Structure 1
Amino acid sequence: MFTLIKNVELYCPNKLGVGDILMAGGKIVWVGNSFPGRDLPNMDVIDGTGKIAVPGFVDGHVHIAGGGGEGGFSSRTPEAALSDLTEAGVTSVVGVLGTDSTCRYPGELLAKARSLREEGISAWALTGSYEIPVKTLMGSVKDDLILIDLFVGVGEVAISDHRSSQPTFEELSKLAASAHVGGMIGGKSGVINVHMGDGPALLSPIRKVVETTELGLGQFLPTHVNRNPDLFEDAIEYGLSGGQVDLTTSTTPQFLEEGEVKCSQGLKRLLDSGVPAERISFSSDGQGSLPFFDSDGAFTGLSIGTSRSLLPEVRDSVLQEGIPLETAVQVITSTPASIYRLPGKGRIAEGNDGDVVLLNRDDLSVDSVFAMGRKMVQAGKAVVKGKFER
C-alpha cells in the first residue's frame, strides 16, 4: 500500500518548505515538491495542509518493562503501553532497566522490546542496570552486544547517586572497555547510558575514565543532567568538551521548585553556551519512578515518568525560548538516533523507515503518527493499540 502525504510543511528535521512524502513497504520512497507520479494502486492520499511533518520521535530512555521499586513492591511501575508511546509521537524506543535488577532482568526487557516490535513500532534495549558488575544474558556486556541483535548499549548505570553500587574507577573503566569492544564487533553504538544522581562528584567519574584510558567521551551518554543546577553547569562544560548530554523531560513541580532545570530552558542555555544540537538529546524516563526522598535518603513518595512529556518540552523550546523548530526537534529525532546508531531513524529521507509525525501548525500538537509506514495515530488518538489495551 502507498501513502502520500501532500502539501505538508517539511522538517526532516532540516526545514525544506512545503512538499510531499510518499511511503511504501514501510519505507519513505520519495520526498520532494509536487509528487510527479500518477495515482498508484491502493494509494492513501493525506492532505497535509496546515500540518508540519517531522521524523518519528526517538525516546532513548524508557523503562518499557516497568521500573521503580524504591518504595517497596507496590511501587513497581507498569509496562509501557503501545498507545502511550505512539500518541506521544514516539515511533522508536530504547528500553532500560533501573534500580531493581533482581525482580527486573535483561531477558524481560528484551521480550518487551520484541513485543513492541510485533505491535508496530521499533524498539531496542540496553543490557545491564544501575549496578556494576552489570547483569547480562550471555555472561558479559561484550557478548550481549555482539550476539543479541536488539541490545545496542549498556545502562542505565548509576553514578553519583545513593542508589548506585558506588562503582570504582576501575569497574567503570572495565565496563566501558567491554562496551566499546562489544559495540565495535557487533556493529552497535556500545554507548553506556549513565544515570546521574545528585552526588557532589558530578561528571568527574566519566572524565577520569576518558583522561586515563584510550576511550572517548562518545562512549558515554550521561542522562538526567538537568537534575540540579550544579550538575547542569557541569554538563555544559562536558558538552563543550565534546561529550553528549541527555536531559530528562519527565518531572514534577516539586523537582522544579528544588532546582531541576526545565528541559526547554536547559536546551536554550546549552545552545547559547555553544553546545551543538547534535550533542543534546531529550529522553522521557518513561515508566520510570520519580521518587521523593528526605534529607536522610528515606523514601517519601512517588510519581511516574511518561513519553508524553517529550513534545511539550520541544514545544516550549520553540514557543517560549525562541529556538527554531528544526533545531528543537533534533533532540528527539536525529540526535538520539545518531547516538544509539539506529538505522533508518531520526530523519525524513528517501530510504529511511516510514516514521513520520504530523503536527498541527497552530499549537504543535500531535495529529497523526506513522510507524514503518503504518498509521498508528489519527486526530491525536491511537487507531492501533497493543494486544491487551482496551
Structure 2
Amino acid sequence: MSYDLVVRGRRIMTTAGEQPREVGVTGGRIVAIEPLGNGLDGTRVLELGDDEVLLPGLVDTHVHVNEPGRTEWEGFASATRAAAAGGVTTIVDMPLNSIPPTVDVAALEVKRKVAADQAFVDVGFWGGAVPGNQGDLRGLHDEGVFGFKCFLLHSGVDEFPPLDADGMERDMAELATFDAMMIVHAEDSRAIDNAPSAGGARYSSFLASRPRGAENLAIAEVIERARWTGARAHVLHVSSSDALPMLATARRDGVRITAETCPHYLTLFAEEIADGATTHKCCPPIREASNRELLWQGLLDGTIDCIVSDHSPSTAELKLLDTGDFGQAWGGVSSLQLGLPLVWTEARRRGIALERVVEWMAGRPADLVGLSGKGRVALGHDADMVVFAPDDAFVVDPARLHHKNPVTAYEGRSLSGVVRRTLLAGRDVDGSTPSGRLLRRGGITTPSPAPEG
C-alpha cells in the first residue's frame, strides 16, 4: 500500500529506543513502523540525515497563552508558533492569565473561539478552581478540560483568587466524584507573608522572600488533602528538592499524586543570577545549584514525573528591566521554544540519554492528561513528529524566538540540539497556515486537516 507520508531514518525514537526504521503515516496517524530497508511507499517521503533523530512531538501541559485579555503578553498564534519551533506539538493552556479566566463553561468557549483559527499546534485547556465556582467544575469537566488548577496564595492577578487548604479539600472531594485532577501552585501564603520582603534588585533577597519552607508546607497540604479525599492531585513546577521525600512517601502510601518540574529549575541556579536580572524571576524561585542536582535525581528515580515549561510571558515593561526590582517585576520565565535544547544540553552533560529526555517531555506529560495517542512514535498514535539534530548547537538570540516579547533568561546561552522540522498529524508546521486542533479530554473539538496530495 501507499502511505500519505513515509519517514526513513537510522535514528527513529521508538518505544524501544532509537532504531533504524521506516514510519508510514496515513490520515494523520502512524499506521506502520518497519525496519529500515523495507521500502514503504509514500506520496511524500522524508529521508533523515545521519545526524538527525525522529522524535515524537513534545507535549507541554503548562503554558500560559494569556489570550484573550492580555494578548500583548502572548497569544495563541505566537505561542503555538514558538511551540512548533521548539518541537512541541501539543500544549495545554492554563486558566489564567487570560481575561476571562477559564472558571466556567462560558469562559472556556471564549478561549476556544479565539484559539480555533490561530493554533499552529494542538491545544487543550485546563479549568480553574477558585472560591465560589465549585458548581461550575462538573460542567467544565463535561466540556473537556483536562483538570483544574488552583493557587494556595495570590496568583498574581486579581481575577483568579486563591483557595485556602480547606477550600482546596472541598473542591478535591467534588472532583473525586468524577475522577478529575486538581493541579496546584503549591506555596503557603502564611509562610510567604512571614518571609522577608522581596523588594529591590538583590536576587538573594527575592530568594529569601520565597523560602523552601513555603513550598514544602503547601505540598504537604496537597498530599494530605489528596489522601483524605482520594482525589488525583498534581504538584506544579516543583522547585524545592526538600519536598521530594514527601512525594515519594505519599506515592508508596497509595496517594494519587504526581509532580512536574521545569527547564529553568534544571538549568539555572541562584548563585549565577545577577542582581537586577528580573528575566529570571519566577515563583517558586530558581534555587541553589545543590538543589538543582537533587531535582535531576528526582527525575531519574521517578519522584518527578515530567518536565514542562511553565511558559509565563509578559511584556518587557512588566519585567522592569530598567530598575531590576524583583519585588515589583512580573514573575515568569518564557521558554516554550527552548525547552528541548535546554534540557538536552544539561542531560547530556550528566550522561542521560535523549530517550529519557523525550519520555519526560513527551510521553509522561501525555500520560498525565490522558492523551493516549500522543507523546510517542508508536502504531496508532498521532503523527506528531520532530526532526532533531542533537549534536548541532546554537546561541540563544531573543530576536529569533517566536514568543511575542523578546524577553528571555537564556540570552547568549550556547545550547545543544536543534529542531529542524516539526510535523503535526504528518504535515509540516510552516508557521503561516494554522492547522492545530482544539483538544478535549477524550477527543478533539475540530477535525484533522485533509492530507496533502
TM-score range, shorter chain: 0.7 to 0.9
Residue 159 (structure 1) aligned to one of 152, 171, 189: 152
Q: Does 1:244 align with 2:258?
A: yes
Q: Is 1:329 aligned to 2:358, yes or no?
A: yes
SS of residue matched to 1:352? coil
> How far apart are 1:223 and its partner, in Å?
1.0
SS in 2 for 1:140: helix
CA distance in 2 between counterparts of 1:66 and 1:224 reads 22
Aligned CA RMSD, in angstroms, stands at: 3.6
How far apart, CA to CA, are the structure 2 residues paired with 1:116 and 1:319? 36
Q: CA deviation at 1:357?
A: 0.8
Asked if residue 98 in structure 1 is aligned to residue 96 in structure 2, the reply is yes
In 1, the alpha carbon distance for the partners of 2:93 and 2:258 equals 19
Would the aligned equivalents of 1:86 and 1:376 in 2 still touch at CA under 8 Å? yes
**Quick check: 1:145–1:179 contact (8 Å CA) kept in 2?**
no
- Name the CA distance, whole Å, in 1 between partners of 2:339 and 2:223: 28
Amino acid at match of 1:241: A
Q: Tell whether the 8 Å contact from 1:354 to 1:372 is kept in structure 2 after alignment.
A: yes
Q: What residue in structure 1 maps to residue 183 of structure 2?
A: 193
- Is the Cα–Cα contact under 8 Å of residues 92 and 123 in structure 1 kept in the other structure? yes
One-letter code aligned to 1:346: G
1:122 aligns with 2:150: no
- Aligned match of 1:285: 310
What's the secondary structure of 1:319's corresponding residue? helix
**Alignment-mate amino acid for residue 171 of structure 1:** G
Q: Which runs of 5+ in 2 are unaligned?
A: 188-209, 252-256, 393-416, 437-453
CA gap of 1:83–1:126, structure 2 versus 1, over 3 A, is same
Partner SS, residue 95 of structure 2: coil
Is 2:167 the counterpart of 1:171?
yes
Residues 314 and 300 of structure 1: is their aligned pair in 2 closer, same or farther, counting only changes over 3 Å? closer
Higher strand proportion: 1
CA distance in 2, matches of 1:21, 1:261: 43
Q: Distance in 2 between matches of 1:52 and 1:110?
A: 38
Q: Secondary structure at the match of 1:170?
A: helix
What aligned pairs does 1:343-358 form with structure 2 within 5 A after superposition? 343-358=372-387
**Equivalent position SS for 2:302:** coil
Aligned-pair CA distance for 1:221: 1.3
* Aligned AA (1:127): G
2:359 corresponds to 1:309: no
Percentage of identical aligned residues: 17
Deviations 1:25-46 (A, max 9, x none): 1001111312535534x23333
Query: Would the aligned equivalents of 1:64 and 1:113 in 2 still touch at CA under 8 Å?
Result: no
- Give the 3 Å change call, closer, same or farther, for CA 239–116 of structure 1 in structure 2: farther
Q: After superposition, give the CA deviation of every residue in 1:306-345 in whole Å (9 maximum; x if it has no partner).
A: 3123113321232222212111211110111001001301
Give the 3-state SS of the residue equivalent to 1:331 in structure 2.
helix
1:63 touches 1:98 (CA, 8 Å); kept in 2?
A: yes
The answer to whether the 8 A contact 1:355-1:370 is kept is yes
Aligned residue number for residue 72 of structure 1: none
Distance 2:169 2:15 in 1: 35
Q: TM-score scaled by structure 2?
A: 0.67
Within 5 A, what are the aligned runs for 1:69-80?
77-80=73-76
* Secondary structure in 2 matching 1:193: strand
Aligned to 2:132: 133
Residue type of the alignment partner of 1:177? A
CA-CA distance at 1:66 after TM superposition: 4.0
1:268 is the counterpart of 2:296: yes
Letter of the 2:152 partner, please give it. Answer: I
Q: Which amino acid is 1:225 matched to?
A: V
TM-aligned CA distance change 1:159 to 1:169, over 3 Å: closer
Aligned with 1:362: secondary structure? strand
Q: 1:205–1:320: structure 2 CA closer, same or farther, 3 Å change rule?
A: same
Contact 1:60 1:283 survives alignment (8 Å) = yes
Q: Which runs of 5+ in 1 are unaligned?
A: 70-74, 185-189
User: Structure 1 residues 193 and 355, CA, compared in 2 at 3 Å: closer, same or farther?
Assistant: same
Q: What amino acid is the match of 2:46?
A: V
In the other structure, the counterpart of 1:187 is none
CA distance in structure 2 between the aligned counterparts of 1:68 and 1:287, rounded to whole angstroms: 15
1:234 matched to which residue of 2?
243
Cα gap change, 1:35/1:375 in structure 2, threshold over 3 Å: closer, same or farther?
farther
Question: For the Cα contact (< 8 Å) 2:57–2:386, is it kept in 1?
Answer: yes
In the TM superposition, 1:84-95 aligns within 5 A as 84-95=82-93
CA distance in 2, matches of 1:103, 1:145: 15
Distance 1:241-1:27 versus aligned 2 partners, 3 A rule: same
CA distance in 2, matches of 1:205, 1:99: 25
Deviation at 1:108, TM superposition (A): 5.0
Given that residues 161 and 196 in structure 1 are in contact (C-alpha distance below 8 angstroms), is that contact kept between their aligned partners in structure 2? no
Q: 2:128–2:148: 8 Å Cα contact kept in structure 1?
A: yes
Preserved CA contact (<8 Å) 1:160 1:202 = no
State the partner residue of 2:139.
Answer: 143
Residue identity matched to 2:341:
P
CA deviation string 1:65-114 (max 9, x = no partner): 34997xxxxx9622132311110111111011236765776655555456
Question: CA shift at 1:209, angstroms?
Answer: 0.6
Report deviation, 1:213: 2.8
Bigger Cα displacement from structure 2, 312-321 vs 96-105? 96-105
**Structure-2 residue corresponding to 1:51:** 52
Which whole-Å CA distance do the structure 2 matches of 1:285 and 1:232 have between them? 18
Change (3 A) 1:103 1:203: closer
Contact 1:335 1:346 in 2 (8 A): yes
SS of match in other structure, 1:233: helix
The code of the aligned residue for 1:25 comes to: G
Structure 2 residue 426 is the aligned partner of structure 1 residue 373: yes
Aligned equivalents of 2:176, 2:295: Cα separation in 1: 28
Q: Structure 1's 159 and 3: CA in aligned 2 closer, same or farther, altered over 3 A?
A: same
What TM-score does the superposition give when structure 1 sets the normalisation length?
Answer: 0.77
SS in structure 1 of the partner of residue 170 of structure 2: helix
